[in-house]
Structure 1
Amino acid sequence: MREYLAKIDWNNTLKNKTATECWNVLMSEIDCIVDKFVLLEKQGKWSKKKHLSKEVIRKIKYNQMMWKRYRHTGSEEDYNIYKEALNQATAEIRNSKNKMNKKYLLI
């Protein structure tokens, strides 16, 4: 982008123009350069990890749902349910990672 901007003859381009016209020319050049050189990438919420199966993702979402329920009610019973969901999700993530590591080690 810097080289592209350096190649433009700014003296002739902006000659005999008002400040507003110069600003509009500059902004149109910058917009053109951004469209040409800057890649736009759609960003998602999070990228899927290869070791996360549907079952693991389901347990993570269940854990998040239980956390929201506990925060809403504040009851000890909901906290215990949340802790159990957290432990299950953590164990499932660890098992999934270990399976994937073993799979790659055997290849």
Structure 2
Amino acid sequence: MKEYLAKIDWNNTLKNKRATECWNILKSEIDCVVDKFVPLKKQGKRSKKNHLSKEAIRKIKYKQIIWKRYRHNGSEEDYSIYKEALNQATAEIRNS
């Protein structure tokens, strides 16, 4: 892109033009370069975690819900419930 834009003779292209005309020319050149050189990202499909069992996924979701509850309340009781859910989820992940 840089080399392509460097090859354009900007002095002759923008000579004797008003500011709005110069801006429109510059903008159109940049749009052309972006269309030419910048690839479009394809929307990928999220892969399903096949290596995790349904029970592991269920425990992970439960752990996330408990974490949100702890972050909202901040109580020690919620934190201990979260730690227990974390340990259960980790153990289930390791098993699957």
Find the aligned partners of 1:4 and 1:40 in 2 and give their Cα distance. 19
What do you get for the CA RMSD once the two structures are aligned?
Answer: 2.9
2:36 aligned partner, one-letter code? K
Q: Which runs of 5+ in 2 are unaligned?
A: none
Stretches of 4+ aligned residues off by more than 6 angstroms: none
Are residues 1:53 and 2:52 paired? yes
CA 54–6 in structure 1, closer or farther in 2 if over 3 Å, else same: farther
Which residue number corresponds to residue 41 of structure 2?
Answer: 41
Shift of 1:92: 2.5
Structure 1 residues 34 and 69 mapped into 2: Cα distance closer, same or farther (>3 Å)?
same
TM-score, normalised via structure 2 length: 0.69
Contact kept in structure 1, 2:70 and 2:79, CA below 8 Å: yes
CA deviations over 1:64-107 (Å, ceiling 9, x no partner) = 100111233344443332111100122233334xxxxxxxxxxx
Q: Which residue does 2:18 correspond to in 1?
A: 18
TM-score, normalised by the number of residues in structure 1:
0.64
Distance verdict in 2 for CA 1:59–1:48, change over 3 Å? farther
SS in 2 for 1:90: helix
Structure 1 vs Structure 2: percent identity of aligned residues? 79
Distance in 2 (CA, whole Å) between partners of 1:24 and 1:77 is: 62
